[in-house]
């Protein structure tokens, strides 16, 4: 059995942009259309896509909570959620591959951004 790790959320800041780019690359680099490209080209395209996606999310969901997921002090993902009077929409939930499969996404989708929680690693 692994140890419990403290999972928390905090608002995303401009200083998180390099991490968000790293996250998009890590999550998407092996997708069809990217995996066969030279590394430099793949990285350039995914960083560009990351920046365009960020701008689009902020334009479409100006009132959303743009949060980063932190495990034991390390940035491991992003959780973007938009609350309206009629519903809650998860705009984006991405976790670095090394942190997938530990229940982070499951807990966030059940508990939402209001609470910190723990996960076993």
Place of tokens 């365009």: 52
Both structure tokens of 7 = 């999972």
Which CATH architecture does the domain made up of 4-120 adopt?
3-Layer(aba) Sandwich (3.40)
The phi, psi pair for 70, rounded to 5°, reads -120, 130
- Confidence band (pLDDT; 50, 70, 90) for 107? confident
Q: What integer best gives the mean pLDDT of the chain?
A: 86
Rounded CA-CA distance 102/100 in Å is 6
Helix axes 17-28, 39-60, angle to 10 degrees: 120
Give Cβ neighbours of residue 24 (< 8 Å, ≥ 6 apart): 46, 47, 49, 50, 53, 94
**pLDDT tens-place string over residues 4-17:** 567 889 999 999 99
Residue bearing the bigger pLDDT, 6 or 30: 30
**pLDDT tens-place string over residues 69-78:** 999 899 999 9
Please report which helix (H) or strand (E) contains residue 4, including its range: strand 4-11
pLDDT beyond 80 at 41: yes
């Amino acid at each position: 059995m692994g140890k419990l790790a403290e999972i928390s959320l905090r608002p995303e800041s401009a200083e998180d942009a390099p991490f968000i780019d790293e996250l998009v690359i890590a999550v998407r680099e092996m997708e069809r259309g990217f995996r066969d490209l030279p590394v430099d080209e793949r990285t350039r395209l995914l960083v560009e896509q990351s920046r365009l996606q960020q701008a689009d999310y902020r334009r479409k969901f100006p009132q959303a909570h743009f949060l980063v997921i932190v495990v034991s002090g390390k940035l491991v993902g992003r959780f973007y959620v938009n609350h309206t009077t009629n519903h809650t929409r998860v705009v984006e939930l991405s976790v670095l591959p090394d942190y997938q499969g530990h229940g982070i996404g499951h807990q966030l989708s059940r508990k939402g951004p209001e609470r910190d929680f723990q996960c076993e690693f």
